[in-house]
């Protein structure tokens, strides 16, 4: 597998932990690839994304795009975390999570 345009991240928050095998917990290692969404035609699905934001990285689902405000709504699997919006002008890049490389042993 080529790692070109792919980045490895370590999960640092439990916002994507939903007590299922698809959730992510602190310490999981994920692989994400470059993703250039066309928000006009993007069909929101169950994919998880790494949003590289000016204030740090967010690992979330994207549930909505508001063209008039230029914002995307980010959703966590963990019900303790509320949805929130980020402005695309503050987003450096978006990467799509394609693999869980290693699971944290504290499950």
Q: Using an 8 Å Cβ cutoff, are 37 and 48 in contact?
A: no
Count Cα neighbours of 67 within 13 Å in the Cβ-side half-sphere: 5
The fold for domain 6-102 equals Umud Fragment, subunit A (2.10.109)
- pLDDT tens string 74-88: 999 999 999 999 999
Any idea where the domains of the chain sit in the sequence?
6-102
100: which strand partners? 30
- pLDDT tens string 49-75: 999 999 999 999 998 889 899 999 999
How many angstroms separate the CA atoms of 53 and 45, rounded?
21
Query: What confidence tier does 35 reach under pLDDT thresholds 50, 70, 90?
Result: confident
Tell me if the pTM is above 0.75: yes
36-50 average pLDDT score? 75
10: which strand partners? 29
């Amino acid at each position: 597998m080529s790692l070109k345009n792919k980045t490895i991240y370590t999960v640092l928050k439990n916002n994507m932990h939903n007590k299922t095998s698809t959730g992510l917990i602190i310490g999981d290692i994920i692989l994400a690839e470059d993703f250039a969404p066309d928000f006009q035609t993007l069909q929101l699905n169950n994919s998880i994304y790494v949003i590289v934001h000016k204030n740090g990285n967010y690992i979330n689902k994207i549930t909505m795009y508001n063209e008039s405000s230029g914002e995307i709504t980010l959703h966590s699997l963990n019900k303790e975390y509320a949805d929130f919006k980020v402005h695309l002008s503050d987003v450096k890049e978006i990467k799509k999570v394609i693999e869980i490389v290693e699971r944290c042993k504290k499950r």
